[in-house]
């Protein structure tokens, strides 16, 4: 189990390599890219250090497709908008900016713990068809997240000073984060069929961590605070917030 911390070191090294130019040139174009890239690199490192079978190949593809989709979208978006307002208060502060990157490296490792357990085991895993439930949940989450991101990006191109309330955003204020949570819940369910009782207990932290992060730390609280301040006197926004789900993109009963 201790050998897993080798991947924590790799994740932190990736962050530090990209943190240096990001801080020196005061650019936000590397921040989200490094996040997705870290998953790709860790997945490849772990995959090629273990036995190759169908179980691990499917897991690798799930992680790569998620990372490539998110990374390419975020990189395209930041090149369009130029800067990420989340970093306006810390971009010029070495310590605060460094801590963000450091914690990002730790987060990647924690989110991938269950996958790393599978990759790091050299035993052959017989494919369990019940694990397809995890693949289905992951695929649903990836679809919801991708559609939500595209809808919001297109909307914001012509409506920079308005909140989005169309598409999936008609039914939820943060459907993209719901999709993200489903992705990692699906990956956990997929891996759960191949973990022993001890590693399964440790692995629960992976989906719980990303859910906690999005619900209470960097995701939803940040945007809710931003929109609440920006539209605090807008009755339409207040009504939208009152009648719209936080996460689940389904219509509430009237």
Q: Report, as an integer, the average pLDDT of 94-109.
A: 94
Asked whether the predicted pLDDT for residue 252 surpasses 70, the reply is: no
Take residue 187 and report the two structure tokens written for it: 């990956």
Of 67, 84, 54, residue with least CA distance to 14: 67
Asked whether the predicted pLDDT for residue 132 surpasses 80, the reply is: yes
- Where are the chain's structural domains? 1-123, 128-254
**Stretch (H or E) spanning 64:** helix 54-81
Beta bridge partners of 96: none
Query: What pLDDT, in 10s, does the model give residues 194-205?
Result: 999 999 999 999
Helix, strand, coil share of the chain (percent; to 5)? 75, 0, 25
In this structure, is the dihedral angle defined by the CA atoms of residues 30, 73, 5 and 54, taken in order, positive or negative?
negative
Answering whether pTM is above 0.85, one says yes
**Stretch (H or E) spanning 120:** helix 113-120
Q: Residue 31's pLDDT is what?
A: 85
Asked whether the predicted pLDDT for residue 82 surpasses 80, the reply is: no
Residue 138's CB: how many other CB atoms inside 10 A? 25
Query: What pLDDT, in 10s, does the model give residues 158-204?
Result: 887 899 999 999 999 999 999 999 999 999 999 999 999 999 999 99
Q: What is the largest CA-CA distance in the chain?
A: 60
Q: Residue 108's pLDDT is what?
A: 97
In this structure, is the dihedral angle defined by the CA atoms of residues 49, 52, 54 and 57, taken in order, positive or negative?
positive
Take residue 140 and report the two structure tokens written for it: 């649903």
Q: Which of 23-27, 156-160, 230-234 has the lowest mean pLDDT?
A: 156-160
How many percent of the chain have pLDDT more than 90? 70
Query: What pLDDT, in 10s, does the model give residues 40-54?
Result: 999 999 999 888 899
Q: Residue 71's pLDDT is what?
A: 92
Asked whether the predicted pLDDT for residue 120 surpasses 90, the reply is: no
Q: How far apart are CA 90 and CA 100, in angstroms?
A: 9
How many percent of the chain have pLDDT more than 70? 98
């Amino acid at each position: 189990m201790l050998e897993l911390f080798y991947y924590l070191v790799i994740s932190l090294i990736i962050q530090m390599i990209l943190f240096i130019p990001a801080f020196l040139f005061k650019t936000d174009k590397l921040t989200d890219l490094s996040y997705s890239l870290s998953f790709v690199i860790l997945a490849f490192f772990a995959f090629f250090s273990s036995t190759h079978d169908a179980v691990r190949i499917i897991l690798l593809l799930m992680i790569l497709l998620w990372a490539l989709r998110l990374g390419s979208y975020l990189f395209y978006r930041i090149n369009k908008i130029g800067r990420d307002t989340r970093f306006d208060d810390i971009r010029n502060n070495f310590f605060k900016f460094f801590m963000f990157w450091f914690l990002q490296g730790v987060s990647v490792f924690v989110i991938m713990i269950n996958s790393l357990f599978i990759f790091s085991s050299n035993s052959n895993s017989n494919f369990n068809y019940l694990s397809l439930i995890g693949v289905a949940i992951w695929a649903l989450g990836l679809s919801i997240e991708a559609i939500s991101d595209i809808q919001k990006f297109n909307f914001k191109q012509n409506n920079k000073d308005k909140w989005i309330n169309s598409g999936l955003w008609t039914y939820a204020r943060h459907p993209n984060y719901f999709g993200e949570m489903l992705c990692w819940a699906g990956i956990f369910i997929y891996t759960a069929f191949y973990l022993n009782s001890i590693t399964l207990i440790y692995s629960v932290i992976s989906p719980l961590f990303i859910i906690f992060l999005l619900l209470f730390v960097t995701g939803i609280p940040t945007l809710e605070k931003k929109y609440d301040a920006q539209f605090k006197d807008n009755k339409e926004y207040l009504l939208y917030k009152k009648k719209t789900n936080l996460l689940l993109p389904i219509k509430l009963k009237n």
